[in-house]
Chains A and B, each alone.
Chain A
Amino acid sequence: MNTDYIGKPTSRVDGPAKVTGTAKYAAEYNVPNMLYGYVVSSPIAKGKITKIDAAPVLALAGVQQVFSHENVPHFAIFDRSYQDEIAPGGSPFRPLYDAEIKFSLQPVALVVADTFELARYAASVLHIEYEEVAHETKLSQHIDDAYEPGKGKIGFQPPKSRGNFGKGWKEGVAHVEAQFSHHAQHHNPMENFATTVEWLGDKHLNIYDKTQGAFNSQLLVTKIFGLSKDRARVISKYTGGGFGSGLRPQYQLLLAVMASLELERSVRVSLTREQMFSFGHRPETLQHVALATAADGSLTGINHFAVAETSQFEDFTENVVGWSGMLYDCKNVALGYRLAKLDVYTPLDMRAPGAASGSIALEIAMDEMAYAAGLDPLEFRMRNYSDHDQAQDLPYSSKALRKCYHEGAAKFGWKQRTAAPGSMRDGNLLVGWGMGGGVWDATKLPASVRASLDADGHLTVSSGTNEIGTGTYTIMTQIAAESMGLPIEAVTFVLGDTELPESPLQGGSWTAASVGNSVVEACTKLGEALLKQTQKMDSPAFKGVKIDDVQFANGQMRLRSDSTQAMVLRDVVQASGEPRIEAENSTLLAKLAMLKPPKYSMHAHNAVFVEVKVDPDLMTVHVTRVVNAVAAGRILNPKTARSQVLGSVVWGLGMALMEESVMDHRFGRYMNHSLAEYHVPVNADIHAIDVVFVNEEDDKVNPLGIKGLGEVGMLGVAAAVANAIYHATGKRVRDMPITIDKLL
């Protein structure tokens, strides 16, 4: 496709606003006469509140109210009122609802005062007494009472086994069986969760929320507080990192709205970094993988079983093991997935949810299997290449994973690898090369978009989606400019507001495909509306012309048959006598399509190659090179796409080497609740990262051929690091993160 904008590296249209500080985040909307709420968090993991002595705090000049279960009205009674769009099955947590403590750092009170400083101080001296009961937070002690979740989160499919693993295991001549684990992780976006509620009078609220879905926040607020949608406008123009943490509305939203309604004032509530460890997280998993291969290196059996933590009150489910039935060709696959209830907050989707966890186990086991079968890890994967999705029994809409293997390996220089652990050196340092990869869903959801051309010829395209730093503003602007044949400067994309056309949550790697294709649809509708207007004008060349007969370029509508016959779009709007001509796409077909069984398996894939250098005495590890080859359909903007995959790789390195929310089980509390002690990679940890987008044309997945990039780049990275460390040292570590103590 020869284009002006789609597929071209384009700098972020919101870049200047971000680097000059004019981009406003939820806690930066300073509305007049605002109060500040500060959350008090539970020091215990389980039990109940026996006493709250609010009087001394209320006596402080400037403290407006201390909210707790003792005085917050029960706005809603039923669980369904507390269930947001992606609430898992169960009974959602209700902040300040009753005296019961269900997890450490649970919000137990909200102190509202005239200043933030006063609210924070008052919260620190609020005396609360608790009655503690024994809590359970250790997953390894609850494997036996883990259960198969029935009703999980929307979209969750229990993993499907096929064939007969026992038979396949016996048929194999080489075998691998091992246990894998990783610990809980918290998203830790840079922007802390915050909500500013602007009280407009008569229960009309403007709600500035940190979220990945303004409509989801609105839905929950309207359900719980019984507000009509026009009274609860949610605005979220910028989100300082999401990674899944903003998929479910967090409790500061509900507390800020509650306080605003009760006090009839504008209120802001922002959480501390410590409190960012009080809600959803990537759940700890314990996994078991068994693989068997025949003499020719073909897999005869795959067995992948995982136990994951969830809360006592909701069944958080994710697809941990299902990918193991897809990525490689194998007749006999046994998959199992169970949950264990712990006294923690409900886990939450975190970048490549499930797949990041499951791919650690599968891709390390594949490396072990390659060694056991005497094959190069890349060759072993090629021999077990899946050309047909056996899990769904569907053909792939497209699958360029083979190209990922070839182009990634070539770029990395994989051929130079010698197989024996410890066989490669750089001076005194041990060199290790490892690989991995993965698969992620290419999803498209219904999304509404409005396209509006004004009399100055400026196009405004809007949809209530979110920008979480991925480049949504930019790629939608590119698509719209391309569709309407306008210079990119003549296009503005607007998002993050419930007054805009409704769009799904920003997550699951589906925004580019869902909103992007809808932008094209809306622009097509706009083109039709403009063409209709030309019929009222004195333009004989356009009389009776159909939309397929025209094209849009250089700010004009032209006849395809004779491009000299052109109407300037601005003139068409001006001739209408209206300030603008606008159109909105219809989501009807997209909604109907979701009801039909799919004809194709639609997925993005990647293959990642990693080099580590390990000091043989000190066992310090450095990831010196990474090549990540990604097949994700059409790449809309190679510049922002590359950034997204770079970030994914960094996430994978963090998961492999340092990221871990450390729980002290005696307190049932995460202890490293700061960015000084919750380690993510810093610049000095990151060296050469090459991103390769292999060509993958797909006219079946969706009209634009987009598969999404948010998750796929992270898959297999942690396993590839672990495999490289094995290759360097001969030490097989199956418990992430691989910190220095595990290698000594």
Chain B
Amino acid sequence: MNSFTFTQAAAVDAAVREKASHEGAAYIGGGTNLVDLMKENVARPTHLIGLKKLGLDTIENTPDGGLRLGALATNADTAYHPEVISRYPLLNQAILAGASPQLRNMATDGGNLMQRTRCYYFYDLATPCNKREPGTGCSAIGGYNRVCGILGTSDSCIATHPSDMCVALAALDTTVRVSGPNGERTIKFEDFHRLPGDHPERDNTLEPGELITGLDLPAKGFAQHFSYLKLRDRTSYAFALVSVAAALELDGNTIKDARLALGGVAHKAWRDKAAEALLVGQPATADTFRRVAAKVLENAKGYGENTFKIELAKRAIVRALKQATEMKATVDTNAYFQPSAFNS
């Protein structure tokens, strides 16, 4: 870790100005990822701009019937907010599938979007990594890539975005509000994170100095039929091998509207609108779901250690859509176990 200076910003415009005036400065919210990256010497900011005094930590209804999440609201406060629980339960489940209670108490909603990949090579300075050191090569290709992507990858990078929350935000058509040197603007969630292409060092489409101030959820929350299914190597505190956010609007057994997003498979939460279109107007049956799953994965590419994710993702999509239909949603299929059953 290098030496750095720290200031606590009092207002958004002041924070943005401060960022512009310090080369090598970084914003810090909860610090749950940035501080790790600094300790590992992956991130080396010379100046940190604290955001915790900006406010922006409220969760409020918007006039159009939606919900605005302040960028500095914690993941825990968001997940357990009554409006989120009742109107956006998919988001509640996705947040609670990630990290640990301690981390969710510190981590902010804006910071969740800004967390970086957990690819082993990104974290290990002894190995080449295009995301960490552009031009050095991708060690995950041909290496230990069990945790890496199968969709939207490039020859430069096969890293995944590690968030669970973002998978639900993508499915729910969230809008990201940002402030920067050129004022305020909004970014559609699907445009916020990038695919790696030739510039894997860039995770997102923020312009230099821009700061996330809030996340706007539209009115439609799919509270009746949803599922967040996360598959991983242990039941908690592990990143997704594959996760699926599924949300349906049903008329009887006919699908009227559908959302489908995947985590753990790409450089961003993977939303497939073509696959969603295949669901609309169809009966909510296993056949439909299998067809759609095949569609989502039709261009998937395995890299050896992670090739199993293609089949796993198909099965997870089918299961998540089934759970959403039947409304037997769980955070994790592993959660079926009821300890009380064995208390003799």
Q: In the complex where A618-B333, A687-B342 touch, is A121 in contact with B312 (Cβ < 8 A)?
A: no
Contact A667 B231 (CB under 8 A): no
Question: Which residue of B has the minimal Cβ distance to A621?
Answer: B334
Contact A685 B234 (CB under 8 A): yes
> Could you list 26 examples of A-B contacts with CB < 8 Å?
A117-B1, A274-B124, A615-B336, A617-B315, A618-B315, A620-B334, A622-B334, A625-B342, A657-B234, A658-B233, A662-B120, A666-B142, A666-B143, A667-B127, A669-B124, A669-B127, A671-B120, A671-B121, A673-B124, A681-B234, A682-B235, A684-B236, A685-B234, A688-B343, A740-B231, A744-B308
Q: In the complex where A121-B1, A618-B333 touch, is A679 in contact with B233 (Cβ < 8 A)?
A: yes
A741 interface hit (Cβ, 8 Å): yes
Give bound CA distance, A685 to B121, whole Å.
27
Give bound CA distance, A677 to B118, whole Å.
9
B278 interface hit (Cβ, 8 Å): no
A43, A620, A687, A740: which contacts B126 (Cβ < 8 A)? A43
Given contacts A682-B235, A741-B308, 4 further A-B contacts (CB under 8 A): A43-B125, A44-B126, A658-B233, A683-B236
B318 interface hit (Cβ, 8 Å): yes
B125, B237, B316: which contacts A682 (Cβ < 8 A)? B237
Interface residues of B (CB under 8 A from A): 1-3, 41, 118, 120-121, 123-127, 139, 142-144, 146-147, 231, 233-239, 241, 308, 311-312, 315-316, 318-319, 333-334, 336-337, 339, 342-343
Q: Could you say which residues of chain A place their CB within 8 Å of the CB of B342? A: 624-625, 687-688
In the complex, which of the residues B121, B235, B311, B312 has the most CB atoms of chain A within 10 Å of its own CB atom?
Answer: B235
Closest chain-A Cβ to B10's Cβ sits at a distance in Å of 27
A91 interface hit (Cβ, 8 Å): no
Closest chain-A Cβ to B188's Cβ sits at a distance in Å of 31
A124 interface hit (Cβ, 8 Å): yes
Contact A613 B336 (CB under 8 A): yes
Q: In the complex where A658-B233, A662-B144, A677-B120 touch, is A618 in contact with B319 (Cβ < 8 A)?
A: yes
| A interface residues, tally (CB under 8 Å) | 42
Give bound CA distance, A120 to B118, whole Å.
23
What does the 1/0 interface line of A674-699 toward B look like (CB < 8 Å)? 10110101111101100000000000
Contact B233 A740 (CB under 8 A): yes
Give bound CA distance, A117 to B337, whole Å.
45
Q: Interface residues of A: mostly helix, strand, loop or mixed?
A: loop
Q: Could you say which residues of chain B place their CB within 8 Å of the CB of A81? A: none
Give bound CA distance, A654 to B142, whole Å.
27
Question: Which residue of A has the minimal Cβ distance to B309?
Answer: A741
Question: Which residue of B has the minimal Cβ distance to A683?
Answer: B236
Q: Could you say which residues of chain B place their CB within 8 Å of the CB of A124? A: 1-2, 41
Contact B238 A679 (CB under 8 A): yes
Q: Could you say which residues of chain B place their CB within 8 Å of the CB of A625? A: 342
Give bound CA distance, A586 to B336, whole Å.
58
A664 interface hit (Cβ, 8 Å): yes
Give bound CA distance, A274 to B318, whole Å.
39
Question: Which residue of B has the minimal Cβ distance to A677?
Answer: B120
Contact A685 B235 (CB under 8 A): yes
Closest chain-A Cβ to B230's Cβ sits at a distance in Å of 10
Q: In the complex where A671-B144, A677-B118 touch, is A739 in contact with B126 (Cβ < 8 A)?
A: no
| Chain A 592-626 interface residues, beta-carbon cutoff 8 Å to B | 613, 615, 617-618, 620, 622, 624-625
Give bound CA distance, A740 to B125, whole Å.
29
Give bound CA distance, A625 to B147, whole Å.
29
Closest chain-B Cβ to A124's Cβ sits at a distance in Å of 5
Q: Could you say which residues of chain A place their CB within 8 Å of the CB of B144? A: 662, 664, 671-672
Question: Which residue of B has the minimal Cβ distance to A686?
Answer: B235
Give bound CA distance, A667 to B121, whole Å.
11
Contact B334 A674 (CB under 8 A): no
Q: In the complex where A662-B144, A666-B142 touch, is A617 in contact with B2 (Cβ < 8 A)?
A: no
A104 interface hit (Cβ, 8 Å): yes
Q: Could you say which residues of chain B place their CB within 8 Å of the CB of A547? A: none
Q: Could you say which residues of chain B place their CB within 8 Å of the CB of A44? A: 126
Contact A620 B311 (CB under 8 A): no
Q: Could you say which residues of chain B place their CB within 8 Å of the CB of A671? A: 120-121, 124, 127, 143-144
Q: Could you say which residues of chain A place their CB within 8 Å of the CB of B126? A: 43-44, 104, 667, 669
Contact B2 A121 (CB under 8 A): yes
Contact A679 B336 (CB under 8 A): no
